[in-house]
Amino acid sequence: MDEHNCQDQDANAERAPERSETVQSSQPPHEEHIGHEQQRETFGNRERMTSYERSSRRIQGFIALVTTIYVIVASLQWCSMHETLKVSRDSVDLARQSLLITNRPWVSTDVEIAGPMVLENNSPGLRLKISLKNTGHSPATSIIPFPIMSRPDQQPMNMLDIQKRRCSTIHQPPSPGGGPGYTLFPGDIITEYNSPSMAREEIESGGFVVVPFIIICINYKFTFTGESHQTSTIYLLGQRNPVSPGQALAIDLRTSPIPAGSLQLIPMGSYAD
């Protein structure tokens, strides 16, 4: 019995480690299964995140594309609108200028010698009859004529430049309330007498033999815009030539007074703005 029992114990002892090994070897597959599940879950989460990121990027790209297209379209629309506004402004300005030219007043002048040329205190003067006419289509206001007598400028002489330079010194716009001056309606004519004279310094420095310029500067305003404008006419004043009536002779002031009938005005040009 004892020997049989000992053999059974020895057999049980040999089988016990096998069961232990079997138990020990049964644990790793379960842990490995859990690890695989976690990896698959992690990989799935990464896949989902990657898909979300791709979708987000596509949406962001689409938004950026739409924004770019909108900016381009808005820029083109703005350029088109700006060009349209420019064309509209140009059309309005052109219509305004056309209306202004068609309906504005124009003041013309006619000048006659109305008295002898007299030398007083080395300053020669001449009486003139100045007629003003409104040849435009609306009233002209604050009309003021300014006659000027002076020696001719040095050569070469540009009559337009001479008129603008001389008249610019007196081109002062009338006061906003209308100020002094005449008002002429279309077709009206008004006449005034004026006596311009040369400066004494011009005679003393240049001598008593002269062929002076007579410049008539006329300032006036529009009734509908208040703008100030100017008309100017320039003449050469000389003594009549009995031999050649179309030519003028120099005036010797030492023979003063010089009768009006022996003097003549030769038109040299005019301008209006």
- Asked whether residue 230 carries a pLDDT value surpassing 60, the answer given is yes
Residue type, position 243, single letter: V
Q: What is the mean pLDDT of residues 181-205?
A: 90
pLDDT value at 3 more than 50: no
Nearest alpha-carbon partner for 126 in 210, 188, 34, 245: 210
- Residue appearing with tokens 């000992």: 6
Residue 29 is predicted with a pLDDT of: 54
Asked whether the predicted pLDDT for residue 21 surpasses 50, the reply is no
Q: With beta carbons less than 8 A apart as the criterion, state whether 213 and 151 touch.
A: yes
Regarding pTM above 0.75, the answer is no
Instruction: Name the pairing type of β-strands 213-222 and 263-272.
Output: unpaired
pLDDT at position 48: 59
Q: How does DSSP assign 159-196, residue by residue?
A: HHHHHHHHHHTT--PPPTT--SSEEE-TT-EEEEEE--
Distances in Å between the alpha carbon of 159 and those of 213, 270, 273? 10, 8, 15
Map out the domains of the chain as residue ranges.
1-103, 105-272
DSSP string, 200-218: HHHHHHH-SEE--EEEEEE
Q: What is the pLDDT of residue 162?
A: 87
Does the pLDDT of residue 7 top 60, yes or no?
Answer: no
The two structure tokens encoding residue 18: 């096998």
pLDDT in tens, 114-136: 999 998 888 889 999 999 999 98
Q: Are 228 and 219 in contact (CB under 8 A)?
A: yes
Closest among 44, 12, 199 to 121, alpha carbons compared: 199
Q: For 98-103, which contacts have Cβ atoms below 8 Å and span 24 or more sequence positions?
A: 100/225, 102/137, 103/136, 103/137, 103/138, 103/224
Q: Distance between CA atoms of 176 and 26, rounded to whole angstroms?
A: 114
Q: Do the Cβ atoms of 271 and 228 come closer than 8 Å?
A: no
Asked if residue 232 lies in contact with residue 171, where contact means CB atoms within 8 angstroms, the answer is no
